[in-house]
Amino acid sequence: MRLNYLSNALGLILTDIGLVTFTPILVALYYGEYGSILPFFTAGIFALALGDILRKVVKNASDVNALNDIKRSEALVIASFAWGLFALIAAIPFMCSGFSVIDSFFEAVSGITTTGATILTSFDISKSLLFWRSFTQWLGGMGIIVLFVAILPQFAVAGRQMFFAEAPGPTEEKLTPRIKNTASVLWIAYASLTLICAFCLWFAGMNPFDCICNAMSTLSAGGFSPNPESIGGYHSNAITLIILIFMFIAGASFVVQAKVVTKLDLRYLWKSEEFKFYSKIILIVSTILAAFLFFESDFSIKHSFVAAFYQVLSLSTSTGSSSENYHLWTFDAKVVLFVAMFLSSCSGSAGGGLKMTRWLLICKYIKNEVYKILHPNAVLSVKIDNVVVAPDVLRQTLFFVFCFFGIFAISALIITLTEENVVIGVTSAIASLGDIGPALGSVIGPFGNYSSMHVITKIILVFNMLIGRLEIIPFLVLFQKDIWSLKK
């Protein structure tokens, strides 16, 4: 690990994080919340100062060419550190607003990782802080590294390593030969969809402030809402349907969506095996849930399907918003919701979890292995979109899934013992690792919060949220001995 590379990259990233931290000050000024200016000003100045220090203390760190030949391992470490520092900066406004250190860090990490789990017991806080919650989710939804690859000229050459270090999935699909252009196109598509969502919500009767916050939280698959009862608190079928549609969009690959928009060809959606798999799984699981709601809860057919599709999409895409209190649903319906927590969204989307590509690879791999039992001499390959998947990718996918469920099991066990509650232990573990947010039960369910959790539990959940957003690999790299052989 070359120290000047690390310092240069983190210094640049912190500088831009500091600049975006000033954004809520405009909200505070608009609503006359002058007492809320200082927390964001403090956070912004701290980020700018820390970024400047990192670039000046280490020799040659300010050299703009120092990132040109960055290594994959260095990019992974930079991504891990960047998200940790972003969480620290994002927590400062909460600390300055009277929240404890652990609660501030929990809320900040939940925001930037688009988890949507909250420690708020009352929403009687400033508009600027409510905006900050949704804004951090919006920044984290597409990824802060992807943003900086798009806007920082210093990342023009190193962009490829940085781009894929943030979310190292099983595929590395891009729109254009230049990663910087790909990052720019993705952010333009992301921002455009957010604006469209906000206008649709405004047209449906939502006030402008809530439109902006809910649009940012929806397209980022985050789920934070200014309303304490989430989307259900607006009591509007039109708003529920709008959020449902945009949740589905947020769970699909923005790379594929950008191809559809730039080339004006809807066939790109159906050329994607992952998108078709994602659509089918959502349809099947939602239909099963709708049947339980119709026959066991006496919902109307319309209510059953809308509620089912909304909650399955919300949990599977890791959005975590709620159209109603599903804690009151039957046991069978809750089992379906628990299954939905493991489904996940598409690669290249704002959603978290295992990603549909990995589930698709696993299904095809198992199918081939079963076939080989009957035909031992058969030579089979796994293909995605008619492209053969390399054995290394399959091996890495299986390793990732093993690590994912291993971390889930260990964290679920520790939380269960700490909270003395199996439902809280198991569902909060997957809700944090999958960056979902709300879990099952009355305490941390759709309209609940995590404020009453033990400090140990909150620390574990913060840990899960961060490594879930980073998709584990960058985190595991930090434990490699060779990484810490620092060089200037």
pLDDT in tens, 120-147: 988 889 999 999 999 999 988 877 556 5
> With contact defined as beta carbons under 8 Å apart, do 153 and 183 qualify?
no
Q: How far apart are CA 429 and CA 437, in angstroms?
A: 10
What does the pLDDT average to over 159-163?
49
Length of the chain: 488
| pLDDT at 66 exceeding the cut of 60 | no
Q: Is the dihedral of CA 213, 215, 220, 221 positive or negative?
A: positive
Domains of the chain, by residue range, sit at: 389-484
Q: How high does pLDDT run on average in the chain?
A: 85
Q: Which of 196, 208, 209, 211 is nearest to 245 (CA)?
A: 196
- Expressed in percent and rounded to 5, the helix, strand and coil fractions of the chain are 70, 0, 30
Q: Which of 257, 241, 249, 305 is nearest to 279 (CA)?
A: 249
Would you state the pLDDT for residue 416?
96
Would you state the pLDDT for residue 396?
83
Amino acid letter, 173: E
What pTM, to 2 d.p., does this model score? 0.89
Angle at 346 between CA 425 and CA 294, to 5 degrees: 65
Q: Is the dihedral of CA 389, 390, 391, 397 positive or negative?
A: negative
| pLDDT at 175 exceeding the cut of 90 | no
Q: What is the distance, to the nearest Å, from the Cα of residue 404 to the centroid of all Cα atoms in its chain?
A: 15
| pLDDT at 157 exceeding the cut of 50 | no
Angle at 213 between CA 209 and CA 218, to 5 degrees: 145
The H or E element containing residue 383 is: strand 383-384
Give the relative orientation of helices 72-96 and 159-166 as an angle to the nearest 10 degrees: 60
Would you state the pLDDT for residue 176?
46
Angle at 54 between CA 53 and CA 60, to 5 degrees: 110
> With contact defined as beta carbons under 8 Å apart, do 449 and 461 qualify?
no
Q: How far apart are CA 47 and CA 41, in angstroms?
A: 10
DSSP 155-173: GTTTHHHHHHHHS--S---
What CA–CA distances, in Å, run from 29 to 38, 98, 108, 127? Answer: 11, 20, 22, 10
What does the pLDDT average to over 239-254?
92
> With contact defined as beta carbons under 8 Å apart, do 173 and 275 qualify?
no
Helices (H), 297-351: 301-316, 331-340
Would you state the pLDDT for residue 76?
76
Would you state the pLDDT for residue 30?
94
> With contact defined as beta carbons under 8 Å apart, do 432 and 117 qualify?
yes
The 10 Å Cβ neighbour count of residue 159 is 25
Stretch among 61-70, 164-173, 277-286, 454-463 having the lowest mean pLDDT: 164-173
Q: How far apart are CA 4 and CA 66, in angstroms?
A: 7
| pLDDT at 301 exceeding the cut of 50 | yes
What is the SS3 assignment for 387? strand
What is the SS3 assignment for 2? strand
Question: Both tokens of residue 465?
Answer: 């949220």
Question: Both tokens of residue 331?
Answer: 């046991």
Beta-carbon contacts of residue 463 (< 8 Å; ≥ 6 apart)? 411
Would you state the pLDDT for residue 245?
94
Confidence of residue 294 (pLDDT cuts 50, 70, 90): very high
Position with higher pLDDT, 420 vs 160:
420
Question: Both tokens of residue 38?
Answer: 């200082």
Would you state the pLDDT for residue 485?
67
> With contact defined as beta carbons under 8 Å apart, do 383 and 443 qualify?
no
